[in-house]
Structure 1
Amino acid sequence: MTSLEERVADDPGPVVADGEAPGRLSRGLAFARRHRVILAVLAPAIALRLITMLGYRGAMWFPDSYDYVSGALTLTPNLIRPSGYSLFLWLLSPFHSLTLVVLVQHAMGVTVGVLVYALLRHRFGLPGWAASVAAVPALFDAFGVQLEHLIMSDTLFTFLLTLAVTLALWDKAPSTRRLAVVCLLVGLATVTRSVGLPILVLTLAWLAVRRAGRRAIAAGLVAGLLPVVLYAGWFSSRTHRFALTYSTGIFLYSRTMSFADCRKIKPPVDELPLCISTPPAKRERSQFYIWGRISPFHRLGERKFTPDVEGRAGDFAQRAILAQPGDYAETVTSDLLRTFRWHHPPFPDPDTYDYYLFQAHPPQPSATAAARMRAYAPGHLNTHVVRPYASIMQVYQRYFFVRGAMFGVILLAGLVALLRRRWAALLPWAVAVAAIVVPPTTAEFDYRYVIPALPVACVAAALAFRRDPALTAE
């Protein structure tokens, strides 16, 4: 056999010890064989996102998008919704590219599917095909892919929640440091979307239920509240009020407008302007009573999102719920059941629903909005539709999405896992339920609010089919 010295003499190029390159190759091939199913699934999932980027050059827009971009430029907290997503945009602002923003969001969407697969393989030992099936809904839901292409907070929120659940369940006995990171991620999700706050409470309750210990619970509490407190401090520095927004009470007020009867509520004099006399059967959808031209808030002055208005609206809403608990429960239940419909009828109204579609002529920023955002991406604000790629996504969205009834089956499977004492399903199932229940309870149902619940719901559902006695002991 030729010695290593002889090889050096014959070939002055780089020297690789015997077996090193073949070892790497064999390990790579072994990895590919072991994960061949998910690799086969990821290829078309990535292709879908590339087609989306080719078909809709730049980014797609929603009415909230303009506030998010403006917040990234001015570093000013928003009065209506938490500005965590604006801070994310600010981190990417040096590149002055909305294309980069949606590329990162599409990468997050793919990563969410990988996290679902990796958790089910690593922690729970599911076969590759089963773990890959659980990742399919998050990877191929057309509305999820479209949300990734919108300048909106939902993809970042979904990524943070899925990563938090993955780290929480990655080991049977996670360290205190790991649990602190989990709660920190949920805290970051809270300042991205306010629905994260009840999920943070659920996460801390989960630590108590699984008897993580006082030290772990204390670490989780501190880490989870850290982003929330820092954000509230930032908000206070600009508004002189320690809070996340000025909108909580206002949105809850809009929730009660489908049934609120001032004859039953008997509000104080300063809240009487918030009363309406329209019969409940003839009232508009909830959000109309915030944004509509004849919103009762116009009676309280020109500025809507102020501590005074929010306080009065919140107090009115609480009185309405206490005076009419049955009507409130019926309203919430009716909205929640929309989550499980087979079809996607336009809701809350056709104009809003259209923002969630791959359209032939997607909405573009107005001249005023474009002027305000020009510094973020000079010359690249409009969405440029390019065929045939855009047409492919338009057709794809008609047929390939997780229908409400399918999502209901996924949630039901997660509940079955709990009934079978698969206690590892508790956290992902509870997070999924909170993500879909909180919005219609506090504001209004919207299809995009279901997307963050989908990956973690699939994790819980997969555990219903795992026969492992060890899971019942957790």
Structure 2
Amino acid sequence: MERRVSGRLVLLAYRPARDRPGSGAMLRRLSACGRWAWRHALFAGVLVAAATLRIVAAAGYPSMLWTGDSAVYVRAALTLTPAAHHPGGYPILLWLLRPLHGFTAVVAAQAVMGLLTGVMVYALVWRAARARWPHRPWLPQALGCAASIPVLLDGDRLQLEHLLVSDELFAFLVMSAVTVLLWRSPVPRWSAGAAGLLAGCAAVTRIVGLPLILVIAAGLVMTGLNGAGAGAWRRRASGLTVIVAVGAFLVPVTAYMAWFHSHYGEWGFNRHGAVWLYGRTAAFADCARIKPAPDLAVLCPKRPPSDPRIASPVYAAMFSKESPFRRIGGIYGPRSNDLARRFLWAAIKAQPGDYLRVVARDTLRAFEPGRSPYPTTWTEAKYHFPKSARRALNSAAAVRQTELAEAYGGATGVTLVVQPYARWVRAYQARLSLPGPALAVLMLIPVVGVAARWRQRRRPGTEAGARGRDGEALTAWLMAGALLVIPAASADYDPRYVLPAIPLACLAAALTLIPRTPAPERPGTEANPH
């Protein structure tokens, strides 16, 4: 009996794989994995190149690059309290990463966010293109890679991932919200809620994220009403979906405002937000036309600044020697925010056309072919990888930076530069960054493409689902446009503020280029590409 059993076990062990029980399912899984890898082989090469680039950058610059706001973020992370002058989303991330003992973990986390942002752009484009070209696997790959390359391989974005500021986290959260929003059409309510929640987290990371909920609501309407059988029921369903998104958006926003109120006794995101809006009006305010109240006359800006290194009137009105805030206790003085709020509304009310002109001018700076030293020469210099170890501008700031770095994780506050990797990365950034005219082309493609198709939208035989794709492209385009306009309308132009809009501009352009009617089916091809 024992010999029979052992003999059967030996035969089973040496039986060919195709004859074993369950081997068919295993072979099918391996075959499916092989097909999946083949479908994304081109993007895998791009992703490996992007990851290698970030490894070299981390070898050349193993520490974070500090800016004027970095100390505020680190101090808030050490005490886990809301900062008085900036939202607290980024300090919460720093607090979560603090047990890893050092800023190297922060560099790695922000690099992963950059890679995932490119992956999300590729996934959305590939998914939409695959539905239109189900039997041409290389076309979705090529279009998805073309859309993700400006995100994954851009030199300026690589440098942004090394800056100790909130922009990379903000860009990742916004792109995550758009990905959840556009993954299915029409949008399920749970997706709308997730998108609203992510947008709310982005808003408590940077205040410019607050108006983005309006873009999400518009996107839900555009993608929800373009489906087949649009009618009263679908309009009601779309309205409920918008309510779910807005409600989810308010959860992190309200929670953060309550946390802020518990520390400072007032509801908001910061204590001096009106000061920054005042700086926006300093570019055009004419007190001869505004006729401000006597107590507001002290805030009438003086132009031009005496320091030639300051190109921005906003920066001059807030930080230069000619700043009117010097006469009322500084920009963070006890009366500064209230006076600034009253002055800015008086200026906009008296000069609405000048305000819109300044906003349009500074928005268009994002499309200039070169990068001027704006807003100041030293601010613009911080957006390049340094040649050598960089210290703070003055000794007091250097000591404070060092103390904060040591308290955070025993790291040094001085930027570490390791050759030859730093030299390679610096040369890469100087040569391979998305120029302004290229961004302008990306923003124009959806406008031209969607406008051309709207003429054919109501023709008989036009597929309703295909029309819905225009809503997806317009949602991404509106989000990119909002990220370009809102900073110019609320603060000032800054090259760093442009970078979160680039992934969305690439996504909108790629979605516009996808045909709105599927390619004819070939015999034997799969009907469902997903």
Shorter-chain TM-score bucket reads over 0.9
Where structure 1 has 5 or more consecutive residues not aligned to the other structure, the ranges are none
- 1:399 aligned onto 2:404: no
Q: Which entry has the higher C-alpha Rg, 1 or 2?
A: 2
TM-aligned CA distance change 1:168 to 1:9, over 3 Å: closer
Whether 1:167 and 2:172 are equivalent positions in the alignment is: no
TM-superposed deviation, 1:318: 1.5
CA shift, 1:9, in A, is 6.6
Residues 453, 284 of structure 1: alpha-carbon distance in 2 compared, 3 angstrom cutoff? closer
Matched, 1:375 2:388: no
Is 56-65 or 275-284 further displaced after alignment?
A: 275-284
Q: Which residue of 2 aligns with 1:290?
A: 318
Shift, 1:25, TM fit: 3.9
C-alpha displacement at 1:87, in angstroms? 0.6
Q: Which residue of 2 aligns with 1:46?
A: 51
Q: Deviations over 1:326-351 (max 9, x none)?
A: 32223222212211011122211110
CA contact (8 A) 1:184 1:226 kept: yes
Percent of matched pairs sharing the same residue = 36
Q: Which amino acid aligns with 1:331?
A: V
Tell me, yes or no, if structure 1 residue 214 matches structure 2 residue 239: yes
| SS across alignment from 2:23 | coil
1:347 to 354, 361, 374: 374
Structure 1 residues 182-221: aligned runs within 5 Å? 182-209=195-222, 210=224, 211=235, 212-221=237-246
- Contact kept, 8 Å, 2:369 with 2:435, in 1: the verdict is yes
Q: Is the 8 A contact 2:283 2:314 kept in 1?
A: yes
**Partner residue of 1:334 out of 342, 353, 361:** 361
What's the offset of the Cα at 1:416? 2.3
Cα displacement (A) at 1:372: 2.9
For residue 75 of structure 2, what is the aligned residue in structure 1?
Answer: 70
Q: TM-score, normalised by structure 2?
A: 0.83
Decide whether aligned partners of structure 1 residues 33 and 305 sit closer, same or farther in structure 2, where only a CA change above 3 A counts: farther
In structure 2, distance between residues paired with 1:207 and 1:344: 36
Gaps of 5+ in 2: 1-5, 131-138, 225-234, 393-397, 455-469, 519-530
**Alignment match, 1:457:** 505
The Cα shift of 1:44 comes to 1.1
C-alpha distance in 2 between matches for 1:180 and 1:315: 36
Give the Å deviation of 1:19: 4.9
Could you tell me how far apart the structure 1 residues matched to 2:193 and 2:208 are?
Answer: 20
- Post-superposition offset of 1:355: 0.7
| Structure 1 residue 266 displacement after superposition | 1.0
- Per-residue CA deviation, residues 205-231 of structure 1 (Å, 9 max, x unaligned), is 333444453322221111001111111
Which of the residues 82, 88, 91 maps onto 1:86? 91
In 2, distance between residues paired with 1:280 and 1:80? Answer: 25
2:275 maps to 1:250? yes
Distance 1:328 1:9 in 2: 80
What is the TM-score when the length of structure 1 is the normalising length?
A: 0.92
RMSD: 2.4
Q: Counterpart in 1 of 2:9?
A: 5
Distance 2:7 2:90 in 1: 60
Q: Secondary structure at the match of 1:375?
A: helix
1:452 partner SS: helix
Confirm or deny that 1:155 pairs with 2:155: no
Query: How many matched pairs?
Result: 465
After TM superposition, give the deviation of residue 379 of structure 1 in Å. 3.1
Instruction: Answer with 289-298 or 43-52: which moved more.
Output: 289-298
Return the alpha-carbon distance in structure 1 between the equivalents of residues 353 and 284 of structure 2.
10
SS in 2 for 1:123: helix
Contact 2:405 2:412 survives alignment (8 Å): no
Instruction: Return the offset for 1:305.
Output: 5.7
**TM-aligned CA distance change 1:317 to 1:31, over 3 Å:** same
**Distance in 2 between the 1:10 and 1:369 partners?**
67
The C-alpha deviation readout for 1:182-240, integer Å capped at 9, x for no partner, is 01000000000111011112212333444453322221111001111111111111111
| Aligned-partner Cα distance in 2 for 1:99–1:16 | 49
For the 8 Å contact 1:79–1:305, the answer to whether it is kept is: no
* Counterparts of 1:37 and 1:3, CA distance in 2: 49
Aligned equivalent of 1:415, options 447, 450, 458: 447
1:70–1:373: 8 Å Cα contact kept in structure 2? no
Residue in 2 that maps onto 1:320: 347
Q: Are 1:443 and 2:525 counterparts? A: no
SS at match of 1:342: coil
Which whole-Å CA distance do the structure 1 matches of 2:287 and 2:35 have between them?
69
In structure 2, how many angstroms separate the alpha carbons of the residues matched to 1:206 and 1:122? 18
Aligned partner letter, 1:368:
R
